[in-house]
Structure 1
């Protein structure tokens, strides 16, 4: 099969499409003919650092949508030709290839009305946003949330999902993306380059602060975000935990939630792995009904993936980039 091969760690910019042996599904896996694969920052980050679990050449790519071509001996509920979407295991060869394997109990089926390109935008970004909002923060209607980096993948899906759930949404984004994030549902957009997001959040909430924060930026930003939280507020963080010890206060109690979606495959917890299917099923339903959009801004070829990842590395990409395989 054709695949975009990472020859060694740190060489993701030099990846080229080459021939490699097609994978075989294990007993609890399905083999998928990948039609589209989404790009994510985690791809170039892991491509740079590598993993002891990898055998080179490795194949990156975690967002996958395509058609089932083979089932493992223990798999039920799938047939050849089923249209599916799934999150690949980052410890195994991934989705930047003609074929990829997935654990069957983590896979969601696609209706004909949802394109492979739109579906491939979901797994890393939308599943992460969904897990953060509904499994970690347990968001409630009529509450308020500050979502950082609203023009990005996780942030863009989080805005849509929070608005769908009936929340007041504040987000940070560069000024040129304010119209975009407001179209997604943000009630207030704060230019993080020019404005103090804590001050602006406090002003917007009559000095009370928000009930929830979703931080996708990093440790320093997460720590600063604690000042924007209301009494008994909650923060979910993805890119680095806030300074917890110094921020824990009797007079301003807050709750902390670590979001690490992809590590579920290393947990050995079948039930937690199966939540990926539950999340995927609901997101596909929302996509089909038009309750959310896929955020796909660019569609590229498999050969163009390294350039696409370089774009992501600038941290200035709006929405999602998807590669057609």
Structure 2
């Protein structure tokens, strides 16, 4: 193991039990085990899943627990059996929700899930990309395999996942129809051909009219199980729906009719139920995303930059649905 930091404790944000406030504490700097890499954290990306986990906890956590899944920083120490990384490499990653998180000056990740941050991409941009970006990537490319000439509906288009999905589907050549209650011009700039207010009484009719009255090839639903159920019938024969926030009730459509494919998107399952190849694909997806940021094809919507001491309030806002765009926390030394 090679290390470039000689202190023994680090400033961390932790909670004593599920639902308890997050407080700044000094904890021991973790040491990487075989296959692991320690990074000196520069920026932390916040996501709704972090807010939910801080509120509910996880049975595999020990206390005090350091939360937050997404981080960007510099490789600081390397465990045995790691050959692809060196101290000083700029990297980003999405972590295992069962493990100690990244809301600290140092964090541990498996070497196989890290992605290199290209020149020209900031730590803030890199930290904002993993969870939302890879969720959208997995939906659009890995599950739905969206292609040029297809039509796709994306709900929650002003959210983190929805915004990335609009861009990725548009870049794949699809006709993108988005649902959002506000920010329509912003969503159009991301690549949507039409943006429709989901609150409109005739929203379904507007979506189908935007696709020349035909069913859709694909749907990315980033809102809820009820939303996925409501939109399921818009699919054409053999169309697919990727569900970010809950599966649809298949009783809403007739059996042996449109024959849809239904996909559940769960990045965390790559750790809990996946194999090494699934975890390595986290690195592949994030590397592609960061490359698109570097060459200007992908916009990372940063709504707010805060410090570690602002994370607790930011996560509360997420649970109350008071945030738009990505919130990133910068780690001070």
Which of the five TM-score ranges fits, normalised by the shorter chain?
Answer: over 0.9
- Displacement, 1:16? 1.4
Deviates more, 1:113-122 or 1:191-200: 191-200
Aligned counterparts of 1:244 and 1:2: Cα–Cα separation in 2 = 48
Unmatched tracts of structure 2, length 5 or more: 1-9
Say whether residues 1:261 and 2:267 are aligned partners. Answer: yes
Say whether residues 1:219 and 2:225 are aligned partners. Answer: yes
Q: 1:147-158 counterparts in 2 under 5 A?
A: 147-158=154-165
- Displacement, 1:84? 0.1
Unmatched tracts of structure 1, length 5 or more: none
Aligned counterparts of 2:254 and 2:11: Cα–Cα separation in 1 = 52
2:52 is aligned to 45
- Partner residue of 1:122 out of 126, 129, 139: 129
Report the TM-score when normalising by structure 2.
0.94
2:276 is aligned to 270
1:108 is aligned to 115
- Displacement, 1:196? 4.0
Q: 1:276-291 counterparts in 2 under 5 A?
A: 276-291=282-297
**Deviation digits for residues 125-179 of structure 1 (CA, Å, limit 9, x no counterpart):** 000000111110011111111111011000000011111111111111113x111
Aligned counterparts of 1:267 and 1:20: Cα–Cα separation in 2 = 30
Q: 1:1-80 counterparts in 2 under 5 A?
A: 1-11=10-20, 14-80=21-87
- Partner residue of 2:216 out of 210, 216, 219: 210
Aligned counterparts of 1:98 and 1:117: Cα–Cα separation in 2 = 15
Aligned counterparts of 1:240 and 1:79: Cα–Cα separation in 2 = 39
- Partner SS state of residue 233, structure 2: helix
Query: Does the 8 Å contact 2:119/2:294 carry over to 1?
Result: no
Q: 1:57-206 counterparts in 2 under 5 A?
A: 57-175=64-182, 177-206=183-212
Normalized per residue, the structure richer in helix is: 1
- Displacement, 1:249? 2.9
Query: Does the 8 Å contact 1:201/1:209 carry over to 2?
Result: no
RMSD, matched Cα? 1.2
2:243 is aligned to 237
Aligned counterparts of 1:284 and 1:249: Cα–Cα separation in 2 = 41
- Partner residue of 2:318 out of 290, 296, 312: 312
Aligned counterparts of 1:215 and 1:41: Cα–Cα separation in 2 = 15
Deviates more, 1:189-198 or 1:237-246: 189-198
Query: Does the 8 Å contact 1:178/1:189 carry over to 2?
Result: yes
Report the TM-score when normalising by structure 1.
0.96
